[in-house]
Structure 1
């Protein structure tokens, strides 16, 4: 059974902003001749690795709500140059937009049970999605 992570996407204003940041980082790595892995570094190492890697994703909270996710490909604990244990969450660079789900901010990451995860948006690839503000209002009214 798969399991997910949920985390605040600090410094990002929108899903498009996150997509642009990922593209920029991957291009910088490509130009520098580095491995083209996309990852997010955290302090804590998840204990439930097998569940996370059996189809899990990291769901990103942007501007007060979950708006998208990225598939988890690997989890790599390491020790940084200062001797502090850290963890790289290796992520698929593709962003999958989800239904907007309100969430309060918190520090670090949390496990997210699949039954509590928002659904992927249908039609997001074709540009048929509603604008964020309209989706948010409709969700708050219980219409989505």
Structure 2
């Protein structure tokens, strides 16, 4: 699933926001409606879009209903950096297939450390 990180200019600010909102090892993101495929999403990842680029993800633990009728997407409070991947911004959340999901940056090539703007420019030039 993807979601725009509104107001976050980069990965570091998104990471700081998640740590600030964390309650123990969990963080909650509120939405108005429960996804129709919520059962499939548990154990999957919530990917964040910053400046039209997928930059990080957290694991989805569960969906909790709130008293005000909204839904909390409860996730692990550890943001994982991913290989930046261009993605148009959208309102709310969207589903992301496994084939379209970006890889993690655990391979040590340093590409995931690039600022989103630089990554986008290099990708447009077919250099990465």
Q: TM class, shorter-chain normalised?
A: 0.7 to 0.9
Q: 2:121 aligns with which of 137, 140, 143?
A: 137
Answering whether residue 74 of structure 2 is matched by residue 78 of structure 1, we say: no
Cα 1:12–1:48, aligned 2, differ >3 Å: closer, same or farther?
Answer: same
Q: Taking structure 1 as the reference length, what is the TM-score of the superposition?
A: 0.77
Q: 2:26 aligns with which of 23, 37, 59?
A: 37
Q: State whether residues 82 and 112 of structure 2, in contact with CA within 8 Å, keep that contact through their aligned partners in structure 1.
A: no
Structure 1, unmatched stretches of 5+, are: 30-34
Paired with 2:127 and 2:49, the residues of 1 have a C-alpha distance of 21
Q: Taking structure 2 as the reference length, what is the TM-score of the superposition?
A: 0.85
Quick check: which has more Rg, 1 or 2? 1
Q: State whether residues 100 and 139 of structure 1, in contact with CA within 8 Å, keep that contact through their aligned partners in structure 2.
A: no
Structure 2, unmatched stretches of 5+, are: none
Paired with 1:137 and 1:102, the residues of 2 have a C-alpha distance of 10
Q: State whether residues 8 and 107 of structure 1, in contact with CA within 8 Å, keep that contact through their aligned partners in structure 2.
A: yes
Paired with 1:104 and 1:129, the residues of 2 have a C-alpha distance of 18
Q: How large is the Cα RMSD of the aligned pairs?
A: 2.2
Secondary structure of 1:121's partner?
A: coil
